[in-house]
Amino acid sequence: MKHIIYAVLVVCFIANGILLSQPVIQSNVNPTVPSTTSAEDAQKLLAEQQRIADSIKIARQWKPSGITGANISQVYFKDWVQGGDNSLAWNIFLNLGLDKEWESWKLKNQLKTIYGMMKLGDLQFRGNENEFFLENLLAYKLKWKLDPYFSNTIQTLLLDAYTYTDSTSELVSTFFDPGYITQSLGFMFDDEAGFTFRIGAALKETFTNRFRSFSNNGDPNGEKTFLFETGLESVITYKKQIMENIIYDGRLRAFSRFNSLDVWDVRFDNNIAAKINKYISVNFTAIIIHEIAQTRRTQLKQGLQIGLSYLIF
């Protein structure tokens, strides 16, 4: 299984290397100024030529983005007669991006990780945030409303995950158990203002080891450790600055198998970040998941926390 994972990652990096190896297209700007041009006009022409050359150079550069931080929420009681329990919850996160555009291609890479724990009363700390997400997207610019694209996504947990009772805990999943890798080929719309939509034919691979219900359609007694599925995938992303210091970031992903197009796996991620100052922000998150291979009930996770964040790039 690890060899397959490594192979997929190598393919992604090879694709990046191929694009990097493409020869740089030189600007067709001619620096020669006709002799009949006045000195003032010649100076303006040379300045315009330099501006165009600089803009072409900037457009060909890698554009990194990155933010990291920690969120916390806490309640403390002492001699409080109206009831309640002390509580503490924290998480740390890292979001990275690396984009690049060429004359006919554009490449987007995104990495999101988060891990957190919480403590209620006298109970031990328990995990409440645990995710690893990597996406690579390559699109060919047709200079039309829709561009053909290829994407590869990897999604799993960072560390062990448990379900809890008052006195016990049970391990239910861990890193790449399950692990999901999805390739998609289709068409995408990007308005360059924060909204994107894409839809395409998809291949989905599910990897398991100990927790095989994820690769056996919810059957915990199943024997398969690998599940290969084909279907349709659609992804909508939207990022909008609601107010001067408030940003909404959302992602809606749906996948349906060709042999059961009336059943869709849906995941809807929402995040609203309100900046208080350069380093402090308030974060509201809500994640909705509907996937019957996990449970027939719609899952919801919601959080409201204050946190510290640092802009890396």
Q: pTM score, two decimals?
A: 0.80
pLDDT digits (tens, 9 = 90+) for 91-129: 999 999 999 999 899 999 999 999 999 999 989 999 999
Structure confidence at residue 59 (pLDDT): 58
Structure confidence at residue 2 (pLDDT): 43
251 by Cβ neighbours in 10 Å (0-12 / 13-18 / 19+) ranks as: buried
Please report, for the chain, the start and end positions of each structural domain, with discontinuous segments joined by +.
64-311
3-state secondary structure of 38: coil
- Mean pLDDT for the stretch of residues 59-87: 90
* Secondary structure of 190-216 as H, E, C letters: ECCCCEEEEEEEEEEEEECCCCHHHHC
DSSP code at position 277? S
- Mean pLDDT for the stretch of residues 215-238: 94
The total of other beta-carbon atoms located within 10 Å of residue 138's CB is 19
Band the pLDDT of 166: cuts 50, 70, 90: confident
Which neighbouring-strand residues pair with 311? 67
Which neighbouring-strand residues pair with 137? 108, 151
| The listed CATH number (2.60.40, 2.40.160, 1.10.3470, 3.30.70) that belongs to domain 64-311 | 2.40.160
Q: Which pair of tokens denotes residue 60?
A: 């060909």
- Mean pLDDT for the stretch of residues 273-291: 95
Q: Output the average pLDDT for the chain.
A: 87
Answer for the pair 97, 127: CB distance below 8 angstroms, yes or no: no
Structure confidence at residue 214 (pLDDT): 92
17 by Cβ neighbours in 10 Å (0-12 / 13-18 / 19+) ranks as: exposed
The total of other beta-carbon atoms located within 10 Å of residue 81's CB is 6
Give the N- to C-terminal CA distance of the chain in Å, as an integer. Answer: 34
pLDDT over 70 percentage in the chain: 86
The pairing of strands 161-164 and 147-156 is unpaired
**Which residue type, as a one-letter code, is found at position 106?**
K
Tell me which residue of 233, 232, 204 sits closest to 293, measured CA to CA. 204
Report how far residue 58's alpha carbon sits from residue 65's, in angstroms, rounded to the nearest whole number. Answer: 15
Report how far residue 159's alpha carbon sits from residue 180's, in angstroms, rounded to the nearest whole number. Answer: 15
pLDDT digits (tens, 9 = 90+) for 9-27: 444 444 444 444 444 444 4
